[in-house]
Amino acid sequence: MTQPEAERAASSNRTERRILQGGRAKAYRPIPAAARRRAIRDGLAAYERGDWFLAHELLEPAWMGTADLAERELLQGLIKLAAAFVHGARSNPAGVAKNLRGARERIAAGAGAGAALAIDVDALLEAIDRWLAAGGPPIEIPRAGRQGR
């Protein structure tokens, strides 16, 4: 058996777990709660440093690793938020706006998970709305219990 044949055989023997999110089957790769919290913490820290690509990469396993639908929506929204400013760094304003609109939709759908993740969802949605109306610098993710910079 060649290497590509072996890889195909191995992948066909694995069962991909899926979860229904927003009417679509999405990947579900459960990870322990502590690992998910660490990924979220590290992803938010990368975002705060302006490393939006890394934030996107670090948040993705947390998003795919939870079965909580509100948490999945909020995390996917944060991933889209980070992706928006990756487009900004590449001077692609259309990509920024498209991702911000998608981020807003997901974040609003996941608002119920905001308190558990210490994210002030209402303030974040307002910041996205302001950015969509007038542009500006990258959006800070308002954290519950923290003062803005």
Q: Tell me whether residue 3 is in a domain.
A: no
Q: Tell me whether residue 6 is in a domain.
A: no
Query: Distance between CA 83 and CA 101 in Å, rounded?
Result: 12
Q: Tell me whether residue 39 is in a domain.
A: yes
Q: Which helix (H) or strand (E) holds 54?
A: helix 52-64
Q: For 88-132, how does the pLDDT look when each residue is reduced to its tens digit (9 = 90+)?
A: 999 999 999 999 999 999 999 999 999 999 999 999 999 999 999
Q: Tell me whether residue 43 is in a domain.
A: yes
Report how many domains make up the chain: 1
Q: Tell me whether residue 1 is in a domain.
A: no
Q: For 21-38, how does the pLDDT look when each residue is reduced to its tens digit (9 = 90+)?
A: 888 999 999 999 999 999
Candidates 119, 44, 136, 74; CA nearest to 128 is 136
Find the domain containing 98 and state its range: 27-134
CATH code assigned at 128: 1.10.3450.10
